[in-house]
Structure 1
Amino acid sequence: MAKILMITGDFTEDYETMVPFQALLACGHEVDAVCPGKKAGDTVKTAIHDFEGDQTYSEKPGHNFALNADFDAVDAAGYDALVVPGGRAPEYLRMNQEVLAKVRHFFEAKKPVAAICHGAQLLAAAGVLEGRTCSAYPACAHEVTASGGSFADIPVTEAVTDGNLVTAPAWPAHPAWLRQFMALL
Structure 2
Amino acid sequence: MKNNNMWSLKLNTAALVLIPAAVGINYIGKLFAGALKLPLWLDSIGTILAACMAGPIVGALCGAINNIIYGFTLDPVSFIYAVSQIGIGICAGVLAWNGAMKGIVKAIISGIIIAIVSALISTPINIALYGGQTGNLWGDALFAACIANNLPLWLASGLDELIVDIPDKIAVVLIVCGIYNTLPKKLIILYRNDQEIEKLD
Same-fold call, TM cutoff 0.5: no
Which structure ranks higher in relative contact order (CA pairs < 8 Å, sequence separation ≥ 6)? 2
Report the structure, 1 or 2, having the larger helix content: 2
Q: Which has the larger radius of gyration?
A: 2
- Structure with the largest fraction of strand: 1
TM-score (norm 2): 0.27
- How high is the TM-score relative to the length of structure 1? 0.29
